[in-house]
Amino acid sequence: MTYRVCFVCTGNICRSPMAESVFRARVADAGLESVVEVDSAGTGGWHEGEDADPRTLSVLGEHGYVLAHAARVFEPSWFARRDLVIALDTGHLKALRRLAPSPRDAAKVRLLRSYDPGAGDDLDVPDPYYGGRDGFEECLEMVERAGAGLLAAVREELEGRTT
């Protein structure tokens, strides 16, 4: 049975596609690409159909990540087909939980940095869109740090399904 993870930010052109690309690489490195599907979306449709922000693509490329992308909006009906919905900041977390059709679906929504034991109290990944390239580098570092913990959590869920 496939385990499905969706990363969600505001417009689906910076943080969530970056997280999608990084986590997809982690999943492939772990040999789990046949059982884990990774995608991303936004809470709003301002950039629907567009590629990721050029700065996102540049930073990802320089760090060896690949991304084929078209921005889209997260729909409430998607909860039925996702096991985990990863919000990039607390605003997205609240918006997604409001969209959730049931308490069970709302429980699927988690903050990405909650999987980083070194994150401290601030679990938001700041939006790099209005800043310079350094914000995109910082975003990538945060996403990478949370990736190992997220992968461990997904592995645990997968193991629980087979026992």
How far apart are alpha carbons 40 and 52 in whole angstroms? 11
Q: Is 163 helix (H, G, I), strand (E, B) or coil?
A: coil
The pTM assigned to this predicted structure is 0.97
Q: What confidence score (pLDDT) does residue 1 get?
A: 83
Q: How far is CA 95 from CA 32, 38, 43, 116, 121, in A?
A: 30, 20, 7, 22, 20
Selecting among 4, 51, 97, 127, the annotated active-site residue is 127
Note the maximum CA span of the chain: 47
Q: How many domains, the chain?
A: 1
Selecting among 6, 14, 15, 26, the annotated active-site residue is 15
DSSP 38-57: EEEEESS-TTTTPPPPHHHH
For the question of residue 15 being annotated catalytic, the response is: yes
Selecting among 9, 14, 105, 116, the annotated active-site residue is 9
For the question of residue 9 being annotated catalytic, the response is: yes
**pLDDT-derived band of residue 160, with 50, 70 and 90 as boundaries?**
confident
Q: Quick: pLDDT tens for 74-119.
A: 999 999 999 999 999 999 999 999 999 999 999 999 999 999 999 9
For the question of residue 6 being annotated catalytic, the response is: no
**pLDDT-derived band of residue 161, with 50, 70 and 90 as boundaries?**
confident
Structure tokens of 44? 């709003």
Q: Is 35 helix (H, G, I), strand (E, B) or coil?
A: coil
Short-list 118, 128, 53, CA closest to 89: 128
Q: Which helix (H) or strand (E) holds 154?
A: helix 133-162
Which range marks the domain in which residue 119 is found? Answer: 3-162
CATH number, domain containing residue 102: 3.40.50.2300
Structure tokens of 14? 């910076």
